[in-house]
Amino acid sequence: MGAGVVGSLSSQHAPNRPIPQSASRAAAPGGWRGWLEIAAVYGSIEGALWSGGAARATWSWTAVGLIVTFLLVRRPGWRPLGVVGLGPKRAWWIPPAALALAVALLWIAHLAGTLHGLYGTTNVYFHSFGYAAWTVIQEFIAQSFFFLHFERLIGSRRAVLANGILFAAAHWPNLVLVPVTLAGGWILTELFRRYRTIYVLAIAHCLVALSIAVAVPNRLQRHMRVGIGYVEYGRPGPRR
C-alpha cells in the first residue's frame, strides 16, 4: 500500500467524488475467503474482550496481525479504506452534529442529576485524548475492514445493517451500550458508505461516547465496559 497505489487512485478520482463501487469492493475479498477473514478477526476480538492478562494481549495482537496481513495481501490502497484526508467537505457537518448531540446529553444529565466525572485516576485531558485515538482505531476496524468485507459479500446497503449489528454485538453484554452502538454503528457505517472517511466519524464517535460516559450513571453503564469486564464489574480481585 505504497505511494504508487495512492498516486494511482488519486489520479483516477477527484478528491470530493465518491469512490466507484468497483474500487471500494476491490478493498476486500469475496466468497468464502471474505467470510473466513471476518470470522477470524471478529473471533480474535471477542477472545480479547472475554479474557484478561496475557490471554487478552495475545488475542488483541492476533486480531491486529490478521487485519494487517489481510490488508497487505489485498493491497487495496489508502483511499478506499477511508484514511486519506478528512473526507469531502460535504461530510464536515458530522462533528458539529455530534457535538450538539453530546451537549444535549450532558444537559439532560445535568437536569437529571446524573452528571459525573470520567472514571479513573488519569488526567481527564489524557483520558479524553487516549479515547479519541482509540475511536480512530475502532472506526478503522469497523469501517475499513469489516464494512468493506461485508460490502463485497452482500452489497453496500445490506452491509450497513450487518456492520451495525456486528458493532453492537462486540459491546455485549452492556445493556446500555448494545442498543446505543446498534443505532450508532448503523449511522456511522451509512456515513462511511457515503463519504469514505474514518476521521470525522471518529470525532463524532468520541464526542458522543464521552458524553455517555459522564451522563449515564456508572451503576448502569459500568464504566463503559464490555465482555468479561462488564460481567466482573464490582467483584473483588484484580481488574481486567
**Is the bond preceding 173 in cis, omega lying within 30 degrees of 0?**
yes
Residue 124 pLDDT: 80
Is the pTM here over 0.85, yes or no? no
Residue 13: the pLDDT is 41
Residue 8 has pLDDT above 50, yes or no: no
Q: Rounded to an integer, what distance in angstroms lies between the CA atom of residue 173 and that of residue 166?
A: 13
Between CA 233 and CA 163 the distance in angstroms is: 28
d(CA 150, CA 136): 20
| Contact status, residue 117 vs residue 134, Cβ threshold 8 Å | no
CA distances from 156 to 152, 162, 189 (A): 8, 10, 10
pLDDT band of 14, cuts 50, 70, 90: very low
DSSP state of 114: -
pLDDT exceeds 90 at position 236: no
Are residues 44 and 66 in contact, defined by beta-carbon separation less than 8 angstroms?
A: yes
User: For 176-218, what is each residue's pLDDT tens digit?
Assistant: 999 999 999 999 999 999 999 999 999 999 999 999 999 999 9
Which of 185, 174, 179, 160 has its CA nearest to residue 222? 174
